[in-house]
Structure 1
Amino acid sequence: MEERACMIAEAGYEVISRYGIRRATMNDIAQAAGVSRQTVYNIFPNREELLHGVIRYHFWHKWNEISEAVDQVENREERIAILLDRLVVRSWESMQAMPHADELELEIDTTMRERIADIHQEAATNLCEFFSPYERQLSSRGMTAKGIGEMLHLAFVGMKLSSTSQAQLETVVGTMKACLLAVTE
């Protein structure tokens, strides 16, 4: 994404987080981005394109944050903890803080499912790459980095959407961390 599109997508995420998907307007997003409404439409011709851009930007930003954090750490346990915290726990907390998060989930599920398939594929690929340094350990257990990455992606999506409390999410994340440490040891 070009710089102006990123700026608008970031503003879109903030506005949607504050008002909800159905109450966020292109005017609100333009104002938050510090651009004209026409500029928003020039980059994102309609609401669906804008939502796709917001989701893509949010995923890209989240993954860069994870990559930068794990690049600073050699310890396998810390790397996995960072991954789980940033990709699952913080994402879940972010969704819980949004008013009308259920509307966003419904909007994404009904109108954007096919549009965001590329983002889901990229997420699974990034997770596969994250676990590729542990390919030897995984192989000795009959697993692959690709299999672990794809399984985790599907699990993370489900956890963020179906966890009903912080305590439940933390229990599942703790169990997942223990499992990942065991299979990559």
Structure 2
Amino acid sequence: MKIPNEKIVQAALQVFMRYGIRRTTMNDIAREAGLVRQTLYTVYSGKDEVLCATIRYFSDQMQQEVAAQWQQAENLGEKLDIYFEQSIVASFRMIRASPEAVDMINGYSAAGKAEIRRGQARKTDALAGILQPFEAAILAAGLSVSQFAAFIQSAALGLRNSAEDEAELAELLAALRASVLSLTGG
């Protein structure tokens, strides 16, 4: 019997958001996915593995959506807007919607945190890709494209974590966007 992992990770996200990662059991995830616990264990060895798969799945989904929207964007400003909305603002909303989301977004366990770092590295690489056409301006500022992409990613996450509300986050991200466009000439 082939079990669709998408169904499991979507069920896991629902349960993690409802109960928190700490209180969620494999039985809770199996029940939400419409499986028996033993069937779940044939796919994942434990909750950490389910957590990592869930983080990876939703990170990949977000990145695919960003890449698809970037195809339609005409300039760097539009691409930054898409990235900030899909990555930063969406996760801010998730945190605000459920206090349990913080553990999910931060990774909760060592394995989850490692998966978050891998996802953030992929996002930084994607940002570097859209910044590549502006390499000369970025180098003139004393940075490499990858350093600048990492800075944008880190700054955006910091803004997300410090903003009091969505309006403040929007203002802060607008300032970051303006700074990036000023430095790149984009």
User: TM-score when scaled to structure 1?
Assistant: 0.83
Which shows bigger deviation, 21-30 or 110-119? 110-119
Q: 1:100 to 1:61 in 2, by over 3 A?
A: same
Partner of 1:176: 176
Partner of 1:101: 101
CA contact (8 A) 1:84 1:177 kept: no
Which shows bigger deviation, 71-80 or 132-141? 132-141
User: TM-score when scaled to structure 2?
Assistant: 0.82
Q: 1:85 to 1:51 in 2, by over 3 A?
A: same
RMSD in angstroms over aligned alpha carbons?
Answer: 2.6
Partner of 1:80: 80
Deviations 1:29-78 (A, max 9, x none): 22333433223222221111111111111111111111111111223221
In structure 2, distance between residues paired with 1:60 and 1:94: 17
CA contact (8 A) 1:18 1:99 kept: no
Q: 1:170 to 1:111 in 2, by over 3 A?
A: same
Partner of 1:29: 29
Q: 1:123 to 1:113 in 2, by over 3 A?
A: same
In structure 2, distance between residues paired with 1:139 and 1:103: 37
* 1:41-120 matches, cutoff 5 A: 41-104=41-104, 108=108, 112-120=112-120
Partner of 1:152: 152
Amino acid at match of 2:108: I
Q: Cα distance, 1:178 vs. partner? A: 0.8
CA contact (8 A) 2:124 2:149 kept: yes
Partner of 2:130: 130
SS class of match (1:17):
helix
Identity of aligned residues (%): 27
Q: 1:100 to 1:140 in 2, by over 3 A?
A: same
Which shows bigger deviation, 84-93 or 3-12? 3-12
In structure 2, distance between residues paired with 1:24 and 1:3: 20
Pairing 1:18–2:29 present: no
Q: Cα distance, 1:115 vs. partner? A: 5.0
Q: 1:7 to 1:136 in 2, by over 3 A?
A: farther
SS class of match (2:108):
helix
In structure 1, distance between residues paired with 2:144 and 2:28: 45
Aligned length: 184
